[in-house]
């Protein structure tokens, strides 16, 4: 086992206590020990890999390992399913610590703890009173009950596409007078379980639905919100994958039986830690039962990562083209029925706010998915989100309720083809990923309760309060747009536009097509997203000057497996320190930039470690004055001659892009268009569109 003790990061505790059935006593979890794993051979593990730089995180993503959503400054957590995974880490030069040495043992402990909690709990503090994780059948039954028992405020919906295994995907729409004709209210969308093993993500989504329904009419805040908005909740996006993960997870049981003998009902976790959907072969539906008979440990290599399959920048950094990799992006943007469902849902409603729930890391992630200085398909840096300041501010407000860290998605690691990046860039509706919980995919159920309602200093707030703040933002006219005016009573108004959504290698066509019905009196108010998509709005980019303030070059050779260092002094103010490493052959050299501290120690501040044949370039913004060590490492070069160049530059802020788009607003009767007008409306803006021609033609059609 390769172990690193360099990190001073506080280790996450590996044990906790739980209310037990016996007289309110405590039932401790079984201690973590690798002994059982040694007896039975390699067991699935959760490890913390040292990734001190973005380049290291990127390289880790190329190894085909099961990289989790838990990462931070200097580390990334990975599930090792088989001995070859550890060998791949070691061969790539990574060091790591084992955090959970046996995930099968841990799954058994969680199941034992959950049984104890359920036995001790008649009704949990959750809005539904639930005391255990739901199965897929439980979710569907809950959605049915909500709609049946509360017909005035809940309507069950079935998404357009069935899953690969032929299952329907259900949700609910919640609103005051929910069955009324489409009335122009903004829509807030709550999603769970894109990734099969992330069970709390579905629990929090459906508990929010229960919360709204339970408190409508008695809680003034929630009642007012449901009069202003329609809330759509889809707790299980990935129905096939989740069903496999849940069913196999329940089977892991290492209890003592038969007078002291031990029986492992399930020797491996099966699909308990499955991430993706059930796509076995691109373009083909799986055979009956094929997805359950997975050919990869833990099921992680089978399927498409749905959170890499959305259209925006599909196929870029952080998404794999290899089907066996955990972040496999699929054969094409929106190739999977699950992502097609969410695309259709968003494209046919004015979704002004969205939360997609995942586990784990205690994070609130805002767009974008790749670092602003990443060179995009057009040859320019992708820049920051057009509404970055407002997105971050809302993220910070939500994180203040649950104690999570609010940050951009790219600060975790690069991601393309994700849910909220597509939704935000296509519609302008604010979108966030919640990474629920500190340290496990599906922890003991009491932690689900605490994360939703808040615990400790966050008691009474938690994700519940964060979700309500997101809903309040979705109805706030400062965060979206409003079109109002007069039109014939009963007319259908339609807002539509088609456009090219950029992928990393080209583009796809998206169409937004939403409708509302004009109410009594002929006046209407429609809460919509801005007419101009964020992806085409003006962006601020930092442009490096063409001439360096100062420059120094070196040439040399470095033997395989060795390194060479040069010193460069920054003795003046500059905006950027750029270090380039070039060589004449398609081999593999790596570059590291370290700052020399007053005591002579070195701190790494930048690096570049690309694939074979990719030349290295490291950028350091606003470099501190002092001495820097530039390190050339020969990772795999047979002819190791190189040229190293360090340059200081000034930079300027420049604006790029800046298109203005319009909605096409039509007024229709029985499918016939009576008037068509373009509408340009910005975020926070209200515009008037009186449809007089439609009114004149109404009586004659």
Q: Do residues 341 and 238 make contact, with C-beta atoms less than 8 angstroms apart?
A: no
d(CA 326, CA 320): 8
**Residue 129 backbone dihedrals phi, psi, to 5 degrees:** 80, 5
Nearest CA to 99 out of 74, 80, 73, 126 is that of 80
Closest listed residue to residue 60, CA positions, set 380, 326, 411, 351:
326
Cα–Cα distance, 204 to 609 (Å, whole number):
39
3-class state of residue 262 by DSSP: strand
Q: What is the rounded distance in angstroms from the CA atom of residue 400 to the CA atom of residue 469?
A: 11
The helix/strand/coil state of 653 is strand
Cβ 342 vs Cβ 419: under 8 Å = yes
Q: What does the longest C-alpha to C-alpha distance in the chain come to?
A: 87
Contacts of 35 (CB under 8 A, 6+ apart): none
The DSSP H or E segment spanning 628 is strand 626-636
Structure tokens at 588: 């593999």
Measure CA of the first residue to CA of the last residue in the chain; give whole Å. Answer: 78
CA 543, CA 529: separation in Å to the nearest integer? 31
Distances (CA, A) of 699 to 486, 669, 674: 16, 10, 11
C-alpha angle 55-59-63 in degrees, rounded to nearest 5? 170
Torsion over CA of 254, 255, 258 and 264, rounded to 10 degrees? -10
Torsion angles phi and psi, residue 17, rounded to 5: -115, 160
Q: Identify each DSSP E strand in 134-242 by its residue range.
A: 154-158, 170-174, 187-191, 230-234
DSSP symbols for 52-111 = -SHHHHHHHHTTT-EEEEEEETEEEEEEE-SHHHHHHHHHTT--EEEEES-HHHHHHHHH
| Integer Cα distance of 475 and 225 in angstroms | 8
3-state percent helix, strand, coil for the chain, nearest multiple of 5: 25, 30, 45
Given 435, 440, 451, 675, the catalytic residue: 435
Residues 363, 670: Cα–Cα separation, whole Å: 47
Q: How far is the C-alpha of 431 from the C-alpha of 353, rounded, in Å?
A: 6
Q: What is the three-class DSSP state of 157?
A: strand
What DSSP designation does 19 have? B
Pairing of strands 576-582, 641-649: antiparallel
Rg value, the chain, Cα:
27
435 is a catalytic site residue: yes
Nearest to 696 by CA among 531, 486, 519: 486
Active site residues: 435
């Amino acid at each position: 086992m390769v172990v690193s003790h360099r990190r001073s990061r506080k280790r996450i505790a590996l044990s906790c206590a739980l209310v037990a059935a016996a007289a309110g006593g405590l039932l401790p979890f079984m201690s973590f020990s690798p002994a059982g794993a040694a007896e039975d051979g390699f067991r699935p593990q959760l490890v913390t890999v040292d990734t001190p730089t973005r380049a290291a995180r990127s390289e880790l993503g190329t190894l085909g390992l099961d990289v989790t959503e838990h990462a931070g400054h200097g580390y990334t957590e990975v599930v090792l399913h088989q001995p070859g995974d550890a060998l791949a880490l070691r061969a790539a030069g990574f060091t790591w610590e084992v955090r959970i040495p046996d995930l099968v043992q841990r799954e058994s402990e969680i199941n034992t703890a959950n049984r104890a909690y359920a036995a001790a709990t008649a009704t949990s503090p959750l809005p539904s009173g639930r005391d255990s994780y739901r199965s897929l059948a439980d979710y569907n039954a809950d959605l049915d009950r909500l709609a049946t028992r509360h017909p005035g405020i809940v309507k069950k919906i079935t998404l357009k596409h069935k899953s690969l295994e032929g299952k329907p995907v259900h949700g609910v729409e919640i609103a005051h007078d929910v069955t009324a004709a489409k009335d122009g209210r903004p829509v807030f969308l709550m999603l769970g379980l894109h990734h099969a093993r992330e069970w709390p993500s579905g629990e929090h989504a459906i508990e929010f639905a229960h919360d709204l329904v339970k408190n409508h009419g008695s809680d003034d805040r929630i009642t007012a919100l449901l009069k202003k908005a329609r809330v759509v909740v889809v707790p299980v996006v990935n129905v096939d994958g989740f069903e496999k993960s849940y069913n196999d997870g329940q089977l892991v049981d290492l209890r003592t039986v038969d007078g002291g003998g031990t029986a492992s009902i399930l020797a491996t976790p099966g699909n308990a830690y499955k991430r993706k959907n059930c796509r076995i072969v691109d373009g083909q539906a799986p055979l009956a039962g094929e997805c359950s008979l997975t050919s990869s440990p833990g099921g992680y290599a089978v399927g498409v990562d749905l959170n890499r399959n959305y259209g925006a920048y599909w196929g870029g950094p952080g998404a794999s083209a290899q089907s066996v990799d955990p972040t496999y992006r699929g054969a094409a943007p929106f190739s999977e029925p699950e992502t097609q469902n969410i695309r259709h849902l968003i494209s046919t409603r004015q979704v002004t706010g969205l939360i997609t729930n995942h586990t784990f890391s205690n994070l609130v992630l805002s767009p974008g998915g790749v670092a602003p200085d990443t060179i995009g398909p057009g040859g320019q840096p992708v820049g920051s989100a057009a509404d970055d300041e407002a997105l971050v501010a809302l993220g910070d407000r939500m994180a203040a309720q649950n104690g999570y860290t609010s940050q951009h998605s790219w600060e975790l690691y690069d991601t393309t083809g994700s849910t909220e990046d597509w939704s935000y860039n296509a519609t302008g509706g604010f979108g966030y990923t919640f990474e629920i919980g500190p340290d496990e995919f599906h922890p003991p159920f009491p932690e689900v309760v605490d994360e939703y309602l808040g615990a400790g200093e966050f008691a009474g707030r938690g994700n519940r309060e964060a979700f309500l703040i997101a809903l309040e933002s979705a109805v706030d006219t400062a965060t979206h747009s409003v079109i109002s005016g007069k039109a014939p009573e009963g007319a259908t108004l339609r807002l539509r536009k088609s456009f090219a959504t950029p992928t990393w290698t080209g583009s796809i066509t998206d169409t937004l097509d939403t409708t509302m019905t004009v109410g009594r009196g002929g006046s209407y108010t429609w809460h919509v997203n801005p007419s101009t998509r964020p992806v085409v709005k003006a962006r601020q980019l930092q442009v490096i000057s063409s001439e360096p303030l100062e420059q120094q070059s070196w040439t040399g050779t470095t033997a395989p497996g060795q390194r060479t260092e040069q010193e460069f002094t920054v003795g003046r103010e500059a905006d950027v320190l750029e270090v380039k490493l070039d060589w004449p052959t398609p081999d593999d050299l790596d570059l590291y930039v370290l700052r020399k501290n007053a005591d002579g120690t070195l701190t790494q501040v930048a690096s570049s470690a690309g694939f074979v044949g990719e030349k290295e370039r490291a950028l350091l913004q606003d470099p501190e004055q002092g001495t820097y060590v530039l390190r050339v490492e020969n990772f795999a070069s047979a002819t190791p001659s190189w040229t190293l160049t360090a340059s200081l530059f000034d930079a300027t802020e420049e604006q790029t892009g800046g298109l203005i788009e319009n909605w096409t607003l039509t007024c229709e009767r029985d499918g016939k268009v009576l008037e068509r007008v373009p509408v340009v409306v910005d975020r926070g803006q209200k515009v008037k569109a009186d449809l007089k021609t439609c009114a004149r033609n109404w009586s004659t059609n």
